[in-house]
Copies of this chain bind each other. A is one copy, B any other.
Amino acid sequence: MANIREIARLAGVSVSTVSRVLNNHPYVSTAKKDAVLKTIEKLDYSRNINAVHLSQGKTNMVGVVLPTINHPYFSALLEGIAEEAMKHNVQLVLFQTDYNQDKELEALEQLRGHLIDGVIFCSRAVQFDLLLNYKGIGPTVLCEDADQQEFPSVSIKHVEAFNLGLDYLVSKGHEKIAICLGRLEGTNSQKRKAAYEKKMKVIGEKFRREWIIGQCLMIEDGKKVIDEYLEWDEKPTAFLVGNDQVAAGMIAEAKNNELTVPEDFAVISFDNHPISKILGITTIEIPTKQLGSSAFMAYIDQSKDIEYSDKIVLPVKLWERKSV
């Protein structure tokens, strides 16, 4: 395929002039500009983007690290990022990691290698110290309720939101409360667990470790929760559930077992994704898509000023429906 030098030769100009035409620089006479354009047309020329990237030292691409795409939370987050990226003419490179730490670091390595200009972590399993090694290479944004000031972060206040849910259940007369979390190893889950334990103490209720169910991520996991529930001798009267999907699965599975919500037990979850609305699930809204667009904006801000490191907190909102 033709390159810029050939265009220059055929159009009878220098490569610099061709480059200027390509980039709409001023200071090119219309005569030469036309000649170049005509030649480009004739040879069906198209710029080699890799050469541009190499030359400019940047690619206008950012990496997005997420465990899985096929989950409403992450696909909403990703969509928020993608919409904002599009506005800024930035391309997204996906790193679906399934929480594999090496794959998470892979994104950072690609940042070092100039494949991408920055990285947005939608979630991560890798230790924070390891991230720190890559600080300063390029803008890095974390979608998490961060304790650190090294990287800009975007999230809701997880503990606060969790307490909101707990308090709501308590206000409705529930004291025997079980919780369903995602990855128990995750920092969020740790915080939520602590908040739960504390709250139980405050209301003078026994803290039952068995009432913390982990690995609740998808609709299907709701069945697992009900199975466990059925086994318990002592039953909770309410569940605080990490996300709408699981809550939906629980409610459906409850019905299969002739249990009704909220009569047999109440359910409140997080997200306020469409499914919670149609099933009448009381939920705490997490502005997932905005989280994504804010994350991208934080990336932009940091790319303008590498010192930038804000902690962006978006508000949550309780939607009272019929599951409590």
Contact = CB atoms under 8 A, between A and B. Distances in A.
A130 interface: no
Interface in A53-94: 53-54, 59, 61, 68-72, 74-76, 78-79, 82-83, 86, 91-94
Contacts of A83: 96
Given A48-B113, A49-B113, A249-B278, A75 B82 contact: no
A10 interface: no
A86 B96 contact: yes
A50 interface: yes
Interface of A: 46-51, 53-54, 59, 61, 68-72, 74-76, 78-79, 82-83, 86, 91-96, 103, 109-110, 112-115, 218-220, 222, 245, 248-249, 252-253, 274-275, 277-279, 289
A83 B69 CA distance: 10
A70 B78 CA distance: 8
Contacts of A70: 72, 75-76, 78-79, 289
Nearest to A289: B70
Shortest 10 CB-CB contacts between residues of A and residues of B: A252-B278, A70-B79, A49-B113, A219-B274, A50-B54, A75-B75, A50-B53, A49-B115, A92-B94, A82-B96
Prevailing SS type, chain A contact patch: helix
A233 B253 CA distance: 37
A277 B94 CA distance: 30
A307 to B, nearest CB: 20
A283 B222 CA distance: 21
Contact of A114 (B50, B59, B219, B278): B50
Nearest to A61: B93
A261 B114 CA distance: 56
Contacts of A61: 93
A113 B278 contact: no
Contacts of A53: 50, 53-54
A46 B109 contact: yes
Contacts of A51: 54
24 contacts: A48-B54, A49-B114, A49-B115, A50-B53, A50-B114, A51-B54, A53-B53, A68-B79, A69-B82, A70-B72, A70-B75, A70-B76, A72-B72, A75-B75, A82-B94, A91-B93, A91-B95, A92-B94, A93-B94, A219-B275, A248-B275, A249-B274, A249-B278, A275-B275
